[in-house]
């Protein structure tokens, strides 16, 4: 696994060895996979209602996109090397790993109101509803850094 999400009695996951997103019902039936349109290797995914948020890497660049659940139609939200995603309330939080420009950012689910929430490198970001913190995991950290979230 690289990343996984459970949505409507299905688990969706990405893998190091494939560009596909794979899915199976929680009871082990109904397996399928699909290659998201115009995507490279998918490193992170989040699902909300009928939207699949994917971060992929293609050569020297990458994309953060909102796809339909079938992976075929999409809207570009951000271009960069996104390695971690998490949803919290009405925002999508992500870690951008571009050399010399690493940060934790967030944007509205439609791609608007992009902001930088934390400067520095991180591989994974997780939103924790209470006490409203952002957990950041990075290679140079022994554990994690908890930081107050801006509302």
Q: Provide mean pLDDT across the span 16-28.
A: 91
For 10, list phi and psi in degrees, rounded to 5: -130, 150
Half-sphere exposure of 129 (CA within 13 A, CB side): 4
Q: Provide mean pLDDT across the span 81-107.
A: 84
Q: Provide mean pLDDT across the span 20-29.
A: 95
Taking the C-alpha atoms of residue 20 and residue 15, their distance in angstroms, rounded to an integer, is: 8
Strand segments (E) across the chain:
3-7, 10-14, 21-25, 32-34, 41-48, 51-58, 61-68, 74-79, 82-88, 91-98, 101-108, 115-119, 124-128, 133-137, 145-148
Q: What is the pTM of this model?
A: 0.80
Whether the predicted pLDDT of 13 surpasses 90: yes
Q: Provide mean pLDDT across the span 78-87.
A: 86
Whether the predicted pLDDT of 8 surpasses 80: yes
Q: For 58, left (φ over 0), alpha (ψ -120 to 50), or beta?
A: beta
Whether the predicted pLDDT of 123 surpasses 70: no
The pLDDT, as a whole number, for residue 22 is 94
Q: What is the pLDDT of residues 43-58, one digit of tens each?
A: 889 999 999 999 888 7
Please list the residues that pair with 48 across neighbouring strands: 51
């Amino acid at each position: 696994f690289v990343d996984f999400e459970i949505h409507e009695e299905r688990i969706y996951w990405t893998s190091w060895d494939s560009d596909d997103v794979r899915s199976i019902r929680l009871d082990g039936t109904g397996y399928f996979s699909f290659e998201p349109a115009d995507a490279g290797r998918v490193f992170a995914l989040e699902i909300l209602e009928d939207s699949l948020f994917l971060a992929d890497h293609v050569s020297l660049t990458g994309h953060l996109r909102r796809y339909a659940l079938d992976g075929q139609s999409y809207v570009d939200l951000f271009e960069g090397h996104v390695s971690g995603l998490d949803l919290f309330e009405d925002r999508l939080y992500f870690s951008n790993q571009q050399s010399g420009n690493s940060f934790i950012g967030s944007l509205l689910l439609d791609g608007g109101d992009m902001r930088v929430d934390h400067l520095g490198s991180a591989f994974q970001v997780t939103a924790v509803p209470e006490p409203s913190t952002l957990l950041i995991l990075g290679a140079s950290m022994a554990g994690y850094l908890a930081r107050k979230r801006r509302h």
